[in-house]
Structure 1
Amino acid sequence: MGLEAGLLDGKNVLVTGAAQGIGREVAVLAARQGAELILADRSELVEDTAQAAAAAAGEHRRQLRCLTALADLETWEGAEDVAYRATSETGDIDVCINAVGGTIWAKPYDVYEPDRIEAEIRRSLFPTMWMCRAVLPGMKQRGTGTIVNVSSVATRGINRGPYSAAKGGVNALTASLAMESAEAGVRVVATAPGGTEAPPRRIPRGPGPESDQEKAWFGQVVDQTLDSSAFGRYGTLAEQAWPIVFLASDAASYITGSVLPVAGGDQG
């Protein structure tokens, strides 16, 4: 799979959640497409992503400039610090790709513990809200910039009520900020991935199913995800990363406020 080379030539691209999964895949692809990178995550594994991105850039005989930042993006202070370091050490942020998030537990909403509801919202909504708040002022002042939020088609899904609500919030934030920012020359868009095949997580999102009942609830999520896909399968990391990089590029210059489902036909 591929598009024209150099989609992100000369752009400073900030990728959050870059240590693994979609965030890592996006970072490596962005490096292949000519971006200079700022990679943020709360795990030191983000350094592995930086090495992989440097190798990808080297395939095109290019030396990558890459800054890594450890931060808790569930807090405003973490997001503000990443934006400050990025601009002070690498220059203006041209593109911000917000890939932090993910279901921690899977269970019907009526049995969700209140503290776990709050944890799901903190994980899958606040990192995107805080990073948008941190990068928007500079983009609007310069009159250019792109934010790509990674949402989910799980806004219509079972056993993930708090996560679904968080990603519905990401969709609403995307639309609202796009309307506020268009006059300033800033685009705000999102993709909505479906189920995605990925290597085993090196940083677990949570404890995993702890009982036979929780395993059954998680199995229902998998079944519903596959049934909702016209292809009847999960997507690959590459199939998620390419649409994100396209939306981040100038090839998508007339697209803003849109949430693109990338889920094998599931519209979310």
Structure 2
Amino acid sequence: AQGRVGGFSEDINEVIAGLEKQRRQQEERAEEAAQLLERAEKFYNEVSERAKLLQERETELKRSQEQAVQEAINEAKGEIAGVIQELKQQPKSGQTAQQATEELNAIAQRRLPKKTPPKQQGYLPKVGERVRIPSLGQTAEVLEIGENQKQITVRFGLMKTTVPITDVESLDGQKVEVPKETPKAKPAPPAAKPSSQPTVRTSQNTLDIRGKRVHHAEPEIEKAINQALNSGVLWIIHGKGTGRLRDGVHEILKYHPQVECFELAPQNEGGAGVTIAYLK
């Protein structure tokens, strides 16, 4: 009987020890789970804080960009208003309108953003890369690419050969896109020179504006050009003086749609005091 009791005691002790071991293991696992939960909460808080900072930075960046855009708009409005004010104060003429148009175009070029289309890069093999040659049913290693990127030297097995670069493709099936050669710009044809045939100078193709101001002379120049269209040339006598009237005449002729070109007259016809305008 005592032997049986002793055997039962040993079994009970083993059971108790096993339960104690399981309890310790569960406590260790619970502690590990608690530590893992703590690390996860800490990581979550850090990520949330970084996300908040990034959002604040993004908001601040948008605000600064919007402010910069608004300032640019206000500056552009101010410049345009200045051009309009100058246009109102000056006499209405073709030259004034042309100058105002040029100023507005310059403002637009400075203020409007320039959009550059994204460049799409096609597939081009590189030295050392393995490619497929569908025409030969082979995969090969790229050894060399021609300077003009039209020929490619490859090796498969013991064989080495040169093929057109368009005959190969990448292992994932990308076709080769050879960069297009930009066509060379053709030289512009030389500007047509006015006829060298002599033209008779008459009262119909001669205008004398000596002593007048540029804005007073402009309508007379316009009228004289229309009258001299048949003869194809107009002599404008502006005198030498300070040169301001001559410069004003040249500025009008430079932008006139019916004037092909102009030049100062030869010495025997007035020299720097006369401008000859060749009409279209």
Q: Per the shorter chain, which TM-score range?
A: under 0.3
Higher RCO (C-alpha under 8 Å, 6+ residues apart): 1
TM-score (ref. length: structure 1): 0.19
TM-score norm. by structure 2 comes to 0.18
